[in-house]
Amino acid sequence: MAGEHLLEELGRFDGDAEILQAWRDGMAPEPALLVSEWADKHRVLGSRGSAEPGPWRTVRTPYLREIMDALSPAQAARRVVFMKGAQVGGTECGNNWIGYVIHHAPGPMLAVQPTTELAKRFSDQRIDPLVEETPAIRERVAPARARDTGNTLLSKEFPGGILVLTGANSAVGLRSMTARFLFLDEIDAYPGDVEGEGDPIALAEARARTFGWRRKAFLVSTPTIAGRSRIEREDAGSDQRRFFVPCPHCGEMQWLRFERLRWEKGDPRSARYHCETCDEPIEEHHKTAMLAGGEWRATATSEDPHTVGFHISALYLPVGWLSWEQIARDWEAAQGKPEDLKTFKNTVLGETWQEQGEAPDWERLVERREDFRMGMVPTGALVLTAGVDVQDDRLECDVWGWAEGYTSWLVDHVVVPGSPRERGPWDALAALLARDWPRLGGGAMRIARLCVNTGGRDTAAVYGHLRRLHDPRIAPTKGVDGWNRAQPVQGPTPVDALVDGRKLRRGLKLWTVPYPAREMQTRLCRVRDERA
């Protein structure tokens, strides 16, 4: 009522029509129009980026309707995950969403490509045509050639909002703005860590926190390697929806699996899909009716009730695009070629590739990784230790949590700047020893033992500072050649220390740790020869 009264008061003044309209626009509720409805009404595809130019028709790819609609402001989902084969329409879903935001739900939006260069290419090849070829958007985004338009290669301003494009390899780009809407495209190509500031997806999503329940994130990608794929991990945490379609013979609803596509060996033209219930062969031309009668069904319970996940393969592509015959032909051509099989699995089936044979140690470690927050001690950890590497301009400290059976977690990595010859870094190290690390489930833990590598050009200075700290938890260490199987770590051995210019004989107790490189190399060679 107060808002209506204010509008009436504003309306009394002549010449205030623009102010009055601005108030009406600001007080208007979120549009009820869904993203798919907007696309069918307004989106126009040009010949530059589409094999089928003309008005957008969701009926051509019905499986995209629910995905786009989940991005509408009126829908409850805050995170929409789309794991897919190549060219099934994931990026176009994002483009339609961008157009919808510009036209119907203006606000700050961030679109992230794997690199800044790809973001520029995306702007030139996808966003500019989207604006130029869709009249409803073209009238809201001024031409880039006009002065003071706010329209640049990586930034598009429009009434009530802005679209910023950036690369996942740019920490500055990911934290440059607050965004209500996030379009994260091809996330499996994102770097693991961006300029030392952390995971790019986490950095981007942090930009939307202040919008609370009104925020939206669209995560899209073709998957890559099992255990390393970001989109696989995101899909696993969702409700894992599959697109179920009816069999034209028995009507049974099912989602399409590659193993049900069968053909005579050497004759891809005989490829038919066989119903999992009646086993009747389904012809390619039946696909149009099957897609029209399809529906998304959840196959799991989402860890986050506000996250929905969609997974689809190229088997669903409309008639006239990638045919079942061509899929069979590509499969046969890939046999005996691991790289081609990997490409087929990723881009056609939309599934991760499982490396065969004995994987390198780093891949095994990636597959076994756990999701826990740095700076927080995992529940299973029983004791904390730390190791310090002394560099010319800093101290590098790793804090580890340990459990039974030598299970360990990297709890934190702390860099203390400053020359090891100066007092400051060592006082900071003392503060680190006095610090509490919070533990999952409650409580806190402190470092029980800290080893400092004293080798290097500043050994005397390091000895002196460690002697001054005089903390029984600190163990000065030094690497030595040789390997004593019975007692690999030896000490403590008293050494002289220089404190405040005064030499203290036997003033510090040093532990020696052998370099195991030669011994380990000998062992590995022996194992290799035995296996051969």
Q: What is the DSSP string of 405-417?
A: GG-EEEEEEEEEE
Q: Which CATH superfamily is domain 383-521 in?
A: ATPase, nucleotide binding domain (3.30.420.40)
Find the mean pLDDT for residues 87-100.
93
Confidence of residue 441 (pLDDT cuts 50, 70, 90): confident
Report yes or no on whether pTM surpasses 0.85: no
pLDDT at 330: 94
Read off the pLDDT of each residue in 462-486 and give the average, rounded to a whole number.
77
Confidence of residue 47 (pLDDT cuts 50, 70, 90): confident
Q: What is the mean pLDDT of residues 107-122?
A: 93
Is it true that 44-369 and 383-521 share their CATH fold? Answer: no
Question: In this structure, which amino acid lies at residue 232?
Answer: E
Write the DSSP string, 375-389. TSB-TT--EEEEEEE
| CA contacts within 13 A on the Cβ side of 379 | 5
Picking from 98, 91, 175, the residue whose alpha carbon sits closest to that of residue 134 is 98
The mean-pLDDT minimum among 26-40, 220-234, 355-369 falls in 355-369
Supply the pLDDT for residue 400: 94
The region of weakest confidence among 145-154, 222-231, 354-363, 519-528 is 519-528
Cis peptide before 492 (omega within 30 of 0): yes
In this predicted structure, what is the pLDDT of residue 517?
A: 43
pLDDT confidence of 498, banded at 50, 70, 90? low
Between the alpha carbon of residue 447 and those of residues 61, 376, 385, 433, 529, the distances in Å are: 57, 13, 5, 6, 42
pLDDT at 309 over 90: yes
More confident of the two residues 507 and 178: 178
CA distance 27 to 225: 48
Q: Dmax over Cα atoms in the chain, in whole Å?
A: 96
Q: State which amino acid sits at residue 230.
A: R
Which pLDDT belongs to residue 521? 45
22 or 437, which is more confident = 437
The predicted pLDDT at position 2 comes to 47
**Which stretch of DSSP H or E encloses residue 310?**
strand 307-312
Band of residue 177 on the pLDDT scale cut at 50, 70, 90: confident
Of 91, 115, 117, nearest to 221 by C-alpha is: 91
CATH number of 44-369: 3.40.50.300
Bridge pairing between strands 108-113 and 151-152: unpaired
Convert the pLDDT of each residue in 444-465 to its tens digit.
999 999 999 887 677 788 888 8
Per-residue pLDDT, 430 = 92
Alpha-carbon torsion, ordered 112, 118, 123, 124, to 10 deg: -170
The whole-number pLDDT of residue 255 equals 95
Asked if the model's pLDDT at residue 376 lies above 70, the reply is yes
Kindly tell me the burial class for residue 359, based on how many C-beta atoms sit within 10 Å of its own C-beta (0-12, 13-18, 19 or more): middle
8-state DSSP, 418: S
Q: Helix, strand, or coil here: 309?
A: strand
Bridge partner residues of 479 (DSSP): 513
Instruction: Choose between 146 and 44: higher pLDDT.
Output: 44
Residue with the bigger pLDDT between 502 and 400: it is 400
**Which pair of tokens denotes residue 71?**
């991005």
Phi, psi of 412 (to 5 degrees): -160, 155
Question: What mean pLDDT, rounded, does the chain reach?
Answer: 84
- Per-residue burial over 263-290, b if 16 or more Cβ lie within 10 Å, else e, is beeeebeebbbebeeeeeebeeebbeeb
User: What is the band of 279 on the pLDDT scale with cuts at 50, 70, 90?
Assistant: very high
Q: Give the CA distances from residue 430 to residues 89, 178, 426, 457, 484, in Å, rounded to whole numbers and listed in that order.
A: 56, 38, 6, 22, 32
Query: DSSP label at 515?
Result: -
Q: What is the CA radius of gyration of the chain?
A: 30
- What are the residue boundaries of the structural domains of the chain, listed by start? 44-369, 383-521
pLDDT level of residue 510 (50, 70, 90 thresholds): confident
pLDDT at 483: 53
Task: Name the residue among 216, 220, 181 with its Cα closest to residue 91.
Answer: 220
